[in-house]
Amino acid sequence: MKIFIVLGFCFSILLSASAIKDEPTGVITFTSKRDGNFEIYVMDADGSNQRNITNNKASDFSSSWSPDGKRLIFVSDRDGNNEIYSMKADGTDLINLSNSESREQAPSYSPDGKQIIFVSDRDDKNREIYVMNADGSNVRRLTNNELYEETPVWSPDGRLVSFTRQIVTEANGETVKNGEIFVMSPDGSDARRVTIKDGFDSAAQWSRDGKKIAFHGFVGDGFDIFVVNPDGKDLKNITNDESADFQPGWSPDGKWIVYCTGSKDEYDIWLIKPDGSSRRRLTTAADRDQNPAWSPVVSLVTR
């Protein structure tokens, strides 16, 4: 009898340890309008310790982490137009990197932290993809199309860049403009299409092992979160609900996906596993919480 009690006790300890190991860890940044204007916030991966790290009257949004977790880049209109800024993870040491009169969007670091890829309309009215050094120097254009591109992100190995490209097709005698996920080489060459589905697809994010891409895509009458292989195979809708689901991001260990979901002007940050299970809510503000981004460094401390 004592043997069975001991074995049962040991088994329960193993189950508890496994459950703890599977819990989300680290910190997540997100954009919130809870204080009247869009600001960058940070919280622990369980939703606790939410705090504003920009504290500015302007709109601050679209944050992205440096590979070492020490800095954030984001978009702000504090100088009158949308520009790319850099700051430490605690909100200090603010630097304007783009210093242009155009509209910049969706900045993201290269895996080695030496470059930043982003979207801009600086050369024409179309949104095109550009890259610059991490200090804002040496800006060069990667795409040049009649239609727009958006949300570029490097693959973890630095060999590819995923992005959304607007395409035009003919359907039932009508011209249809749509957005699909593409990948290209970091110099802008060899672009190829990943998603082939009805509805707009955007905000692609790579898993840390580079084997999966998560994105939001329009289906039916709303947006859901999808996961697909980089070659376009094994496409799965992992939310498949009535809410509008946007802007996925992977945890460092690949076990969780953070995203925003809601309706009208009320959105919150949630977690879900890549297989669509174990959903949990992280924020409950009565306004817009969006643009979540998980720090690549689990042990980062910002408070």
Q: pLDDT per residue over 141-167, tens digit each? A: 999 988 899 999 999 999 999 999 998
- Please report whether residue 303 resides in a domain: no
- Please report whether residue 299 resides in a domain: no
Q: What is the separation of C-alpha 24 from the centre of its chain, rounded to a whole number of angstroms?
A: 17
Which residues in the chain come in under a pLDDT of 50? Answer: 2, 4-7, 9-18, 300-301, 303
What's the confidence (pLDDT) of residue 125?
A: 76
What's the confidence (pLDDT) of residue 147?
A: 86
Domain of 159 in residue numbering reads as 2-294
- Please report whether residue 300 resides in a domain: no
What's the confidence (pLDDT) of residue 299?
A: 57
- Please report whether residue 226 resides in a domain: yes
| pTM for the structure as a whole | 0.90
What's the confidence (pLDDT) of residue 77?
A: 97
What domain count does the chain have?
1
Alpha carbons 274 and 226: distance in angstroms, whole number: 9
What's the confidence (pLDDT) of residue 17?
A: 43
- Please report whether residue 208 resides in a domain: yes
Alpha carbons 212 and 297: distance in angstroms, whole number: 20
Q: pLDDT per residue over 153-206, tens digit each? A: 999 999 999 999 998 877 676 777 889 999 999 999 999 999 998 899 999 999
- Please report whether residue 55 resides in a domain: yes
Name the strands in the sheet holding 280-281, side by side, starting at the edge strand that comes first in the sequence: 244-250, 257-263, 266-272, 280-281
| CATH number of domain containing 199 | 2.120.10.30
- Please report whether residue 115 resides in a domain: yes
What's the confidence (pLDDT) of residue 3?
A: 53
Nearest to 75 by CA among 109, 105, 31: 105
